[in-house]
Each structure stands twice: as structure tokens, then as C-alpha cells.
Structure 1
Amino acid sequence: MSLILGLDFGTTNSVAAIAGAPGAAPALISFAGPAGTSPLFRSALCFWQEAGAPDGLAREAGPWAISEYLGFPEDSRFLQSFKSVAASASFEQASLFTRRYRFEDLGRIFLSRLAAHAGGALDGRIARLIVGRPIDYAGQRPDPALARARYDAMFAGLADEIVYVYEPLGAAFDYAAGLDRAATVLVADFGGGTSDFSVVRVAEPGAARRCRPLGHAGIGIAGDRFDYRLLDRLVLPLLGKGGQYRSFDKLLEIPRSWFSDFADWSRLALMRTPRTLAELERLRRAALDPEAIGRMIGVIEHELGYPLYEAVGQTKRALSTAERAPFRFEGGGLRIEAEVTRDAFERWIAEDIAAIEATLDRALAAAGVTADAIDRVFLTGGTSLIPRVRRLFTQRFSADRIAGGDEFTSIAQGLARIGTEADPGAWAS
């Protein structure tokens, strides 16, 4: 059996959908994970040492990776948001125990475990694989050519035909399937790593080419950056950020690179190497507040990145429905209990919201349209549920033009729909 598969390889979660007949709704692949069945497959990996395993390391992905980590946190290496380093030239290899893995190595392991947990849904030959990609990649000075080369290596051999499509364009296809008239649609996709915008002209139902892209823009700011703002205010000061250390007869500020790496979910687990821990121990001995650096070492040594991620995520999600929310974390010698108001959180992310709005303006300009020319605004991605993000659109567009729904699955379903087109390469990016 030949399959047409749409794959939303996300920073936080990945989703896969199998296309049906042209015009029919795609079928989402569900994963019967340890905590229940869901179409969301966490974009995470866990490695642990095991005799007889490839390279001496056993590995799992998705919710099974989380389960393995929770069972033996200090004996495992847990990686999350690793998509964020796809376009980073500074990332060469991940050192895990005694092995080194390139991005494409991690990606292939991730895909193989996703397929293994698909309940046989991916056992057939994939004729077409439509893969979503961000408009702009996450990270400082992202290199799109490098990301493309890594994606090519990651997906090589998985299908007879592989097409990369902008993620918001996939969401536009899915949204267009429910429209009964022509419209100019702005799709705003807010994920973990990037915020992407596509302006699409949707033709009348039955048209030979239903969706015609008019313009795109993207930025590497989204949910993970909002996480960083919470960490920066609530956690990093207790780990030494802003502190000083002695170097001979001088007092110097502790390099901020330590804290930017610590607050990056894709890099935190990779700090647990003998070399990095030895450098932090030297810094601890020279620091004016050695206990703060000791707390950072404790979090890293005890592999507490996932519990910290969950604590931040719980607070962020709670602030989407409440005016204030608690933040609690304990581990590695670090204990924090604080209350965060939505007003404070929105002040902390104000710079990011301004950058996102400027990117929206670029998308409209690239399409050659004004806000008044947009008939519908479709918001998708988990970060679109944050009130300050939604308010950006209610302030720019009338509320009756804004739609949401299927925030986590619309991209994969739309990519699968593109796969049924006679020439899916017409939407390639």
C-alpha cells in the first residue's frame, strides 16, 4: 500500500496525517502513549546506556522518551526542542554519554521511533511525504541552507517523493477546505520555535488551484522565547545571572552565555558533559556567590531540564486562562515558589510581541495587501492560545474575521491535503 503522508515536524510536538481521497479529510495518526492516546507526538528523545543496544545506547522518542526519563532521570539524557538547532552552524554534534550525534542522526532516530509507535499506520511504502518547514528558522543567525541540508539527510530514503512546504501554507490548505467561498486569508502559525505568517488567496470551491500564496514572513520567536522570559525573571537570578567572579585582581560579570545556553531547551541537556561541568566548577570556586553556580550545576547534574520545562509550561498555560498563576520548582538544590501575574508576563514578552507584529507587517507587505483586504485570519499553533498573542490580532483585525481551532493538527492535515494535488511541488518552498 502506498501512502501520502503530511508531517508537521514541530519544535514541541510532531503530528502526522495520512491523506485520503482528494477532498476527503486526512486521517491523523494517533499514538497510544503511556499517558493516553493522542495525535501529538512530543518532539523529544531519551538515551540511556544498555548492553546490546546500537552504539551501546537504547533510545526512545515522544511520550515514551518522557516515560523513560521519568523512570531514571539521572541515568538518561533527555533532549527536547532539538529542531531549534537545525539551522545553527554552532551546533555540530550532541555528546551523549560516549557517543556523538549530528542533527540528522537525532532526526532519523526520532522518525524511526515515531513510525514504530504508529500502530502499523506507517508500515506501507510512502509515495509522497509532504514535510512542513518554518519560513524562518529559530536561533541566532540561522542558516537556511544548512537547515535544508540537514532536513534532506534526515528524511532521505523515507519516501519516493519528498516536498517541503511552509507550515502556515499547510494550515491554509486545511482551513480552506471548510470555506464555501473565495477569500483572502492570513494564516498565523505560532509554535514552539517560530512564528510564521502566510497570506493566501483561496479560490471558490472546485477551482483547479484552490490556494494561491501571496506572501510570507517568519521570525524565530515563539513559545520557547516566552519560556525564556519566565526563566530569566524567576530562575536565572538564583543561578548567578548578573553576578560576578574573580579573575586575578579583577571582578568580572559571569558570562551571559552560560545562562542563554541553560535557558535554551535544545541545549540544556547537552551541558551535562565532563568538560562543561568542570568549567562550571571552576567558575563556582571563583564566583562571589558560589552557591548560585552550585545550584546551576545541581540542575544540570541531576538532569532536571524536563521538570523545569514542565514547571514553566504549567505557569504559562495557566496565565492563558487566569490573571495570576503560581510558579513552583524544586530540585538540584534550587527551590522556587513565586506568583506571576498576567500583566507582568505580558510586560516581559512585550519586546517579542513587537517583533512578531513587525513580522506580520512584513507578511502583509510581501503580499501587497493591507489589513483591510484580509477576509479571514486563521490562528494555529499552541502559542496562538496566549491572550497577548490573540489580542495582537483583535487589535489589528475585527473579531469576526478571526478563527481558530485544530491548533495542534491543522498543519499536518493541510500538508496531507497538498500531497493529493497533481503537482504538490507547486507549493514547495
Structure 2
Amino acid sequence: MTSISCGIDFGTSNSSVAIGTGTAVSLVPVEGEQVTIPSALFFLRPNNEAYFGREAVNMFFERESGRFMRSLKRVLGTSLMTQGTAVNNRHMHFNRIIGLFLTNLKERTDAYAGADVENVVMGRPVHFVDHNPAADDRAQEELKAIAQQVGFRHVEFQFEPIAAAFAHEVNIQGEQLAIVVDLGGGTSDFTVIRLSNRYIRKADRTADILASTGVRIGGNDFDKELSLSLIMPEIGYRTTYGEKNIEVPLHPFHQLAEWSKVNFIYTPKALMQTRQILHQSHDPGRYARLLRVLEKETGHALLAAAERAKIVLTAQVEHQALFDFIEDDFVLTIGRNQFEVSIQEEVRKISAAARKCLHDAQVKPEAIDLVILTGGSTEVPVVQAEFKRLFPQAAIADENKLSSVGLGLAYDSRNKFN
């Protein structure tokens, strides 16, 4: 019987699975007919029944009673993994929460394959945690343990940008020197690699991989900076209060600007503090909006509005962002130029990480034949412009932005396990 293996791209924002059997590699429908699924869960009250992906997102925005969670990948390697969190007044560890999401992926993979798939190559960023090798190693071990708990007997890992390169390699005649630019929700990763369709079944690609680098910046950070720069000031960010003109506490706004932290702001202490400051606020109209967000627990809707603005501004130069969940007729006009200014430091760091990859590989930009763009954040015009500026002579490949990592992991799994 032909062995079946799979690759799982457990992403910060979206996830995908592909299986490899013999010479064939195919994406698994992981939500209905869709081959990608938002990395999101919704725990419905009162029994904490878990829902996943688009269904979870829809339940949250339809105001079902429960707890919505996203960006779980960013918890790996941090103290939150052991601390856990309250889910509808019940304490739950993150290994169980992530395990539920991976269990859903495995069940769909097994159903598609018609067999119990025991072999998996999991994608991982070059760095789960920047500048902390111990936390980085811990994050991989945590993810491996969860994958084994949900039923995978043999678990290997591959850097996500290398996997993306493998997905594109099948179409490459001759040999090309490529740089993979993998900009996900939580990280940006880069690999300089020699590619050829002649190399597809090579078991050891060490000599072809010249360098890999990464930085913990991604699309979620674009959402955060857009929110803090252009949205949060309209709900009281950096306003002042009291006789001494003290700046309001910034902590609640920063938590409301991050998918992985927004749930932690809904506390009696935060509500009490916000109500007390509102009485002394120098801008009560705006600051009262913060109180409404906390009282109604609409932080995810606030973040979703920022994400929506980012997406719309990839195609349009201006966006009318509606915040009627805070206040009737509350609309902000957000321009692409404003957005690009808000993320310029993040784009600079991403560009620096790409240049470091070239330096580590001892390759000059003009030697690159192919730039492989993968991950949703590569859609952002200022990001595309930066990489076209860095590699003006290279060809650009950007098909299958959201599923190329999963496909490449399946190619890798086929080589590792078959």
C-alpha cells in the first residue's frame, strides 16, 4: 500500500493541509470546499463546544454568546502556554485549544485521504520568537507535542519559506537562484535557495539552501500599527485627563490592537479604571468610545475593521471604515498613504531581514533570478514595491499565496516519509 503523508501549514491567520501519495500532491478541503481555513476558534456558551474557521468568525460577528480566539500560533514559546486563559469562565490551557484546531485539520485530512494519516511535516517560521533561542526551541517542541497528541505518530518540521520554494519548484526548468518572501500574519521569513524541477525528489537539500532568516513581524502587526495610528486616536488613545494633564493609560489600546491579546483586556479592573478616567477626561467624547468597546467586548470587531481597511487599501487608495458597533454613524476615512506611513518601520525591518538573508547567503541582489512571494501580506502595495526595488531584474512568482506553504510541506513529507 502506498504510504500517505501530509504537510500542515498552521498559520497565524490561515491554515492549510496537503497530502502526498506517490507522485501526486493535493490540497485538502479543510472547510467545505475551501482549501484554506482561518486559524480561528469560537467556544459557544455554556458548554464550550468548539467551532472553527469561517464558521467561528461568523458566529463571533453574529454576536453568538461565547469566546472568539485568533492568532494562537503567537502564543507558542511564550509564558501564556503554561498560564492558559479563561474560556467562558473555565480555565483552559493553550495546548488544548491549539490541539482542538489541529484535531479538526487531522479529521478532515483523514477523511480526504480515506486513511489514518500518521506522518506529517509541520511548517514553522524561521523564528517563532525573535532573539530567544530557548523560547524558539520550546515553541517547536510544544507544537510537536500537540501534533502527536492529536494522532500524528511521526512529526517533522520544515521552515515555511523553504516549503513555499518546494511548491514552486515543479514549474522551474533548468536551475534558478530564488529568494522566497513569506509574509504571514505573525512572521516574515526568507530563504535563498537553488531550485530546479530536477531536484524535486532529492532527499537532502542542504547544499541548495544557502540561507534563511526571519523576523516576528507580519500582517497582524500591520493591523496593529494601522489601528494605533489611525483608529485608536478616535477612541481616546493618547488623550489626557486630570488637573496634571496626564496621558491616559496606553495598555488597553495596545491590547485591543493585537489579535492574540485582545481577550485579556476584558476585566473588571480595566472597566473600573476606564470609568474613573472618563470622569476626568479632557476628551470625553472620544474616550467614552473606549468604554463602550470594553463594556460590549467588541475589541475583535475593532481589529477586524483595521484588517478590513488594510485589505481594501491593497486595491483602493481610500477606504470608509464603519464603526457603528461603537457609535451610530461613526465613520473614518483612511487613505492608503496614511496606512503606508503607519507601517513604514515594519516594512523597513522586513526589508532588512531580506537583505540579511542575501548577506548570509553571500549573494548579491542582481544574482537572484526569481522572487517567490507568498503569504497574504505580500499583497500590500508598499511591500510589493519594496521587493521590486530590491530585485528589479528578477522575475516575480506570486501564485497560490495562501496555500503554497502547505503544498510545499506535502512535497517535503513525501520525500521524508516515502
**So what's the TM-score if we normalise by structure 2?**
0.90
Aligned: 1:205 with 2:198: yes
Aligned to 1:100: 91
Matched letter for residue 152 of structure 1: K
CA contact (8 A) 1:88 1:141 kept: no
Aligned to 1:83: 73
Aligned: 1:266 with 2:265: no
Does the C-alpha gap of structure 1 residues 6 and 423 become closer, same or farther in structure 2, counting only changes over 3 Å? closer
Aligned to 1:382: 376
- Correspondence for 1:44 among 40, 44, 47: 40
Matched letter for residue 258 of structure 1: P
Does the C-alpha gap of structure 1 residues 87 and 18 become closer, same or farther in structure 2, counting only changes over 3 Å? same
CA contact (8 A) 2:182 2:375 kept: yes
Aligned: 1:173 with 2:174: no
Matched letter for residue 346 of structure 1: E
Deviations 1:364-398 (A, max 9, x none): 11112111221211111111111111111111112
Deviations 1:84-111 (A, max 9, x none): 2223336632222221222212100112
User: What is the Cα deviation at residue 351 of structure 1?
Assistant: 1.1
Aligned to 2:105: 114
**So what's the TM-score if we normalise by structure 1?**
0.87
User: What is the Cα deviation at residue 283 of structure 1?
Assistant: 4.1
Does the C-alpha gap of structure 1 residues 83 and 258 become closer, same or farther in structure 2, counting only changes over 3 Å? same
Matched letter for residue 383 of structure 1: S
3-state SS of 1:260 partner: helix
CA contact (8 A) 1:61 1:114 kept: no
User: What is the Cα deviation at residue 399 of structure 1?
Assistant: 5.1
User: What is the Cα deviation at residue 362 of structure 1?
Assistant: 0.9
Question: Partners in 2 of 1:345 and 1:117 — Cα distance?
Answer: 38
Question: Partners in 2 of 1:117 and 1:3 — Cα distance?
Answer: 14
CA contact (8 A) 1:31 1:41 kept: yes
Aligned to 2:54: 63
Aligned to 1:151: 143
Deviations 1:19-60 (A, max 9, x none): 1213x3x21111444xxx31111101111223xxxxx32221
- What is the root-mean-square deviation in Å for CA atoms of aligned residues? 2.6
Aligned to 1:313: 307
CA contact (8 A) 1:85 1:138 kept: no
Matched letter for residue 218 of structure 1: G
Question: Partners in 2 of 1:422 and 1:120 — Cα distance?
Answer: 22
| Number of residues of Structure 1 aligned to a counterpart in Structure 2 | 411
Gaps of 5+ in 2: none
Deviations 1:196-242 (A, max 9, x none): 10111225615735842110111111211111122112321122211
Does the C-alpha gap of structure 1 residues 422 and 120 become closer, same or farther in structure 2, counting only changes over 3 Å? closer
Aligned to 1:12: 13
Identity within the alignment, %: 27
User: What is the Cα deviation at residue 275 of structure 1?
Assistant: 4.3
Question: Partners in 1 of 2:145 and 2:35 — Cα distance?
Answer: 25
Matched letter for residue 159 of structure 2: Y
- Correspondence for 1:133 among 124, 127, 140: 124
CA contact (8 A) 2:16 2:406 kept: yes
